[in-house]
Structure 1
Amino acid sequence: MKVIFFHDGPIKKDEDNNYYGTAHNDDTFKRYYQIADELGVVIREVSVSKSEAEQKLSKITVSPFEVVACPNISSLKGILLKEKKAKEIIYKEIEKCDYVVARIPSMIGFIAIDYAIKLKKPYLVEVVTCPWDAFWNHSIKGKIVAPFMYKKTKDLVRNAEHVLYVTNEFLQKRYPTKGKSVNCSNVALKKFDNSTLENRIKKITNMNKDRRVIIGTTAAVDIRFKGQQYVIEALGKLKSQGYNNFEYHLVGGGDQKYLKNVAEKNGVTDRVKFLGSVQHNDVFKWLDGIDIYVQPSRQEGLPRALIEAMSKGLPAFGARTAGIPELLEKEFVFSNSKNNLREICNILTSFDKETMLSQAKRNYEESKKYDSSLIEERRRNFFRLFKESY
């Protein structure tokens, strides 16, 4: 029996035909062997050198594992020039598989669902983010596309018989289904050690008022809806008010030009550090070294990076986007409005030692809800229900 996973991706491939990913990795893919003993993936491929991949990405080693490259149809140009070819590939793969898993919003996922219905193949839908937020906050072109993506997602999810959501409430309310559903975050934390919290408490207790407070974010630095620019602008505002103790560290790949320009414009180039891509295992070491984590994005599902930061006992704050407010206390959530800079500044200046200690303890305990054993048990039960329905 074979299950095929459909998503825009991308996944990365080196010159020796090895595959690598960040969001798409062994932990992601091994779940689907609970549905069938063979796994295929229809996804967009991007080339990467082996040396770069081994330094910065997670190698995919699950087996049996087959990747079928699909053209990029996530842009208007791609749809016009490559949609026919993509549809041929997707149709052919669905014809020969037993089960379909479509992660949406994605153009490849949308087409896969349409063909699974046409060919009467069992399909499961994973809803991982809000397309309205993703496209509306992306660009002028995104605002044109947003209504179509919103309606398409709403219609497909409503009529699907099995839907997995990554949030506890947000996506369920915006994209409800008439079928069976479960909430299973893509975040699955494997190890909790109380010494992590003890070390964080010791670090906060030993902070002196003259030391720089390091804020951190992990996200691509060339996608504007990730929101790092708002934190940088807030640092400029705080500097003008006499607060010079904050430093912002950014982990993530991509072109740094835009954010560097924002830092220069706001006079904080010496307070913004770009660390580039970091392997996932090394991100946890980096989290140990920072003081506050921020998730400023205007498009999310339930952010893995924020939950991982909370599991390290980090005080945190974030935007009122998708599942972020499900994770944080309301005092540490800022709006996606013209007032957001003032709100970010107020939150940052509210982090005295007592507040940081209470938030460290609270966030560590909250992150335990994402223990892999709890989440994977829910996922296994839902996958079993999916299989037994056909």
Structure 2
Amino acid sequence: MITIGLEYRFLRDTTGRVWAKTQCDEAFWRKYTEVLGNINIVARIREVSEKPEDYLRSDGPGIDFKGIRDYHGPASFLRYIFPVIGDIVSYTKDSSLLILRTPGLIENVMYLVARARHIPFAVEVVGDPQEVFANNGAGGRVAPLYELFFTSMQRWMCRDAEVVSYVTGETLQKKYPNSAGREHAVSDVYLPDEAFLPEPRHFKKLPSPLSMVMVGSLEVPYKGVDVALRALSKIKNYVNATLTIVGDGVLRLELEAMAHSLGLQQQVRFLGALPAGEAVRKELRQADLFLMPSRTEGMPRALLEAMALGLPALASRVGGIPEVLGEDYLFTSEQPDELAALLMLLTPEKLGKMSSENLQTARKYHLSNTTRAHREFLREVKALMAENK
């Protein structure tokens, strides 16, 4: 049996069905079962009376969820560390191989268990913990300690793994190499045919208002919505622009108050969470420019979905973003002045050029290409499992 660990929070209703808010639905896990057979998934699970409207079914044939206590952040994790470790030890005792989707606390514990019990393991790197804690995204006053711990754990995990996949083409590989050189570039972005615009957009003049859009969770400050708001406040007297924010979370009220304090209440719209897929694509089609002022990213799905619809984009220079956007369209994280300057320099010609380049780049992440790369990684995992029987 293969056991997969990830830092994600699922919901389980009274009938035992498991639900996910984003791409970790049954179709996502089916990519694993089609190659590996039955799998166990170790993650946080919160019990609910009924699932919210925008959640997707996650469980299915061959997919068995093993719930960990629903802690919130490292401090909460430490309060429940012994029952969490006990659960992980129990859930992995019959595993022939582990897959760790890092970064995350659960994966760190599973790595230590694997080393102690000599269980072979593979790693899927989907983000960079150094950026999470270094760029004011999380951790508060103890962020430097968290950064050191999580970065070191991910470096050791990747070094010792049997095989590693990375959501980037080269960025994360350089920071977290595998000692055996068994590395795969495997984006976790899967863009189907309907996600693409047939041809680039054309701009005869600069749109007025310039309709900008962001997509991301407001549960944590990683997406840099505050940076976008500050940038918009700097150009509001020079550029007629609006900003729609798709996403929800505990930070929404704080960000709405910030928009009001900056005098942007007429220019900023908080739309809330939308179901993945067509509902989000509808907002992207209506926009003129996509913004991603993130403090950390792996290979951002929202950005590539926007690019697949020919949407021009400006983004921060973090994670795998520089692999898909040219340097002329990037700015430094935490620097609203740089974003504001890029917005002031937009022209119809530049928007048209961005649209064409983005659509061409996004085609590399078509479902057929990313699925093929993921299958190659999983086949190597399966071969390793056979060797260790």
Is TM (by shorter chain) over 0.5? yes
Taking the aligned partners of 2:351 and 2:357, their CA distance within structure 1 comes to: 10
Q: In 1, are the aligned partners of 2:298 and 2:320 still within 8 Å (CA)? A: yes
Which shows bigger deviation, 288-297 or 138-147? Answer: 138-147
Structure 1 pair 317/94, CA: closer, same or farther in 2 (3 Å)? same
Alignment pair present for 1:333 and 2:330:
yes
How many angstroms apart in 1 are the aligned matches of 2:254 and 2:79? 30
Deviations 1:38-86 (A, max 9, x none): 1211110134553x62x21222253122111102456343333211111
Structure 1 moving runs of 4+ over 6 Å: none
Confirm or deny that 1:267 pairs with 2:263: yes
2:185 maps to 183
Aligned to 2:11: 12
TM-score, length of structure 2 as denominator length: 0.91
1:141-186 C-alpha deviation (Å, 9 max, x unpaired)? 3333111111111111112121111111111111111131101011
User: How many Å apart are 1:97 and its aligned residue?
Assistant: 2.3
Which residues of structure 2 form unaligned runs of 5+?
Answer: none
Q: Which runs of 5+ in 1 are unaligned?
A: none
In 2, Cα distance between the equivalents of 1:319 and 1:325?
8
Measured in 2, the distance between the counterparts of 1:248 and 1:143 equals 33
In the alignment, the residues of structure 1 paired with residue 193 and residue 4 of structure 2 have an alpha-carbon distance, to the nearest angstrom, of 28
Equivalences for residues 299-378 of structure 1 within 5 A: 299-337=296-334, 340-378=335-373
Q: Does the aligned pair in 2 maintain the 1:104–1:125 contact within 8 Å? A: yes
Match of 1:133 in 2: 131
Residue 101 (structure 2) aligns with:
103
2:100–2:121 contact (8 Å) kept in structure 1: yes
Question: Distance between the aligned counterparts of 2:49 and 2:303, measured in 1?
Answer: 29
How many residues are treated as equivalent by the alignment?
A: 378
Give the match for residue 273 of structure 2.
277
Structure-2 change in CA distance of 1:14 and 1:351 (3 Å): farther
Cα distance in 2 between the residues matched to 1:130 and 1:321:
9
Q: Distance in 1 between matches of 2:87 and 2:195?
A: 46
- For residues 181 and 62 of structure 1, the distance between their equivalents in structure 2, rounded to whole angstroms, comes to 29
Which AA in structure 2 matches 1:185?
S
2: CA distance, partners of 1:94 / 1:329: 43
Of the structure 1 ranges 342-351 and 366-375, higher mean CA displacement relative to structure 2 is found in 342-351
Contact 1:57–1:280 (Cα < 8 Å) also in 2 = no
Aligned-pair identity (%)? 25
**One-letter code aligned to 2:375:** R
Deviation at 1:192, TM superposition (A): 6.0
Q: Which residue of 2 aligns with 1:242?
A: 238
Counterparts of 1:73 and 1:158, CA distance in 2: 28
In structure 2, what is the Cα distance between the partners aligned to 1:142 and 1:313?
37
TM-score by structure 1 length?
Answer: 0.91
Partners in 1 of 2:272 and 2:14 — Cα distance? 23
Q: Using a 3 Å threshold, how does the CA distance of structure 1 residues 208 and 123 change in structure 2: closer, same or farther?
A: closer
Q: Does 1:87 align with 2:88?
A: no
SS of the residue aligned with 2:242?
Answer: strand
Seen in structure 2, the aligned counterparts of structure 1 residues 208 and 297 have a Cα distance that, compared at 3 Å, is closer
Q: What is the deviation of 1:365?
A: 0.5
CA distance in 1, matches of 2:34, 2:88: 22
The structure richer in helix per residue is: 1
Pairing of 1:69-84 with structure 2 (within 5 A)? 69-72=67-70, 75-84=73-82
